[in-house]
């Protein structure tokens, strides 16, 4: 699968290209139709995807995207099975970054305007960083970055040191190998469960979850190492998590 781009720049025509290879419900199943819902980005809610080789379906289209938003592209797969029609969805999150400067308000204070152009001012900067904007005193730089595979805002010193992620949330990515009941819980290092992040039916596919650093009662948890456990049928996955503060 070639997923959609994580970030596109709005205010212009965007060439959108991606591909999926749906998993078959059973060995004798056939894919009847694959469509993509692009309505959140000004496109069709049932844009047909074209079959290619090896069970891959592709989409290539141009959209005039404006504004700033984060939304899902939803791919609907319809199969013909021995039990009748079967539908499944594949979700991919896409963020539209602004083409021109804008302001981001955090707790009543404005962070400097950010422009979605490639970051080419400081040579050591990772290629996933976008054009920096200096603070009024010239001591700090704010910039938009994909260095953690998510569109987030950083601030660093003017010499490029001490980059700090301003996003107060922590991103958790996980894959579900099959559709069914799933639970994702967070534990501290003593084994105490501090938060239940998801519980209920989920379709097979890849997911991105943002956690705001609070427990089930809405209280902020202390900085440090945590463990999250994903349970979905016979699939159990446990990983360490270090929230950003």
109 or 242, which is more confident?
242
**CB-based contact 133:98 (threshold 8 Å):** no
Window from 104-108, 125-129, 198-202, 239-243 with minimum mean pLDDT: 104-108
Residue 142 has pLDDT above 70, yes or no: yes
Query: What stretch of H or E contains 34?
Result: strand 30-37
Q: What is the mean pLDDT of residues 27-47?
A: 91
pLDDT digits (tens, 9 = 90+) for 149-161: 666 677 777 777 7
d(CA 128, CA 145): 6
- Whether 110 shows a pLDDT value over 80: the answer reads no
CA dist 116 and 114 (Å) reads 7
What are the angstrom distances between the C-alpha of 76 and each of 6, 41, 182, 241?
19, 17, 21, 32
Is 31 a residue whose pLDDT tops 60?
A: yes
pLDDT over 90 for what percent of the chain? Answer: 15
Q: Name the CA dihedral angle for 209, 94, 23, 45, rounded to a multiple of 10 degrees.
A: 120
Burial class of 117 by CB neighbour count within 10 A (0 to 12, 13 to 18, 19+): middle
Residue 232 has which token pair? 């979905």
Burial of 224 (0-12, 13-18, 19+ CB in 10 A): exposed
Asked whether the beta carbons of 199 and 187 are under 8 A apart, the reply is no
Nearest Cα to Cα of residue 83 among 22, 26, 21: 26
What CA–CA distance (Å, rounded) separates 129 from 218? Answer: 32
pLDDT for the residue numbered 59: 92
Whole-angstrom Cα distance, residue 151 to residue 5?
11
What pLDDT is recorded for position 9? 67
CATH number of 170-241: 2.60.40.4070
C-alpha to C-alpha distance for 81 and 9, rounded to whole angstroms: 40
For residue 195, what is the DSSP state? E
pLDDT of 101 strictly over 50: no
Pair 86, 63: CB distance under 8 Å = no
Is 3.90.320 the CATH number for 7-97? Answer: no
Residue intervals in the chain for CATH 2.60.40.4070:
170-241
* Residue 103: predicted pLDDT: 39
- List of residues 6+ apart from 27 with CB closer than 8 A: none
**pLDDT range class, residue 111, cuts 50, 70, 90:** very low
What are φ and ψ of residue 163, in 5° steps? -65, 130
In 10 A of CB 103, how many CB atoms? Answer: 9
Which tens digits make up the pLDDT trace of 49-93? 999 888 899 999 988 876 666 788 889 999 999 888 898 888 887
Structure tokens that stand for 105 in this block? 């308000």
pLDDT tens for each residue of 192-216: 889 999 889 988 888 888 787 788 8
Identify the residue with better confidence: 164 or 189. 189
pLDDT of residue 141: 79
- Spell out the residues 6+ positions from residue 83 whose beta carbon is closer than 8 angstroms to its own: none
User: What's the pTM?
Assistant: 0.43
Pairing type for strands 84-97 and 7-9 reads: parallel
């Amino acid at each position: 699968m070639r997923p959609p781009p994580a970030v596109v720049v709005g205010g212009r025509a965007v060439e959108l290209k991606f591909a999926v290879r749906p998993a078959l419900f059973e060995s004798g199943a056939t894919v009847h139709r694959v469509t993509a819902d692009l309505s959140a980005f000004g496109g069709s809610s049932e844009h047909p995807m074209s079959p290619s080789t090896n069970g891959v379906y592709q989409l290539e289209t141009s959209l005039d995207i404006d504004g700033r938003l984060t939304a899902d592209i939803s791919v609907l797969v319809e199969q013909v099975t021995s039990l009748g029609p079967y539908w499944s969805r594949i979700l991919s999150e896409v963020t539209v970054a602004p083409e021109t400067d804008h302001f981001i308000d955090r707790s009543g204070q404005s962070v400097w305007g950010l422009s979605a152009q490639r970051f080419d001012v400081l040579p050591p900067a990772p290629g996933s960083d976008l054009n920096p904007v200096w603070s009024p005193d010239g001591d700090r730089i704010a910039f938009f970055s994909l260095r953690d595979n998510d569109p987030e805002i950083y601030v660093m010193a003017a010499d490029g040191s001490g980059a700090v992620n301003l996003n107060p949330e922590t991103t958790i990515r996980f894959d579900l190998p099959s559709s069914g009941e799933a639970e994702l819980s967070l534990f501290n290092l003593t084994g105490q469960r501090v938060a239940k992040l998801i519980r209920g039916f989920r379709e097979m596919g890849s997911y991105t979850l943002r956690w705001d650093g609070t427990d089930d009662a809405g209280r902020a948890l202390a900085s440090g190492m945590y463990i999250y456990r994903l349970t979905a049928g016979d699939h159990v996955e446990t990983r360490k998590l270090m929230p950003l503060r």
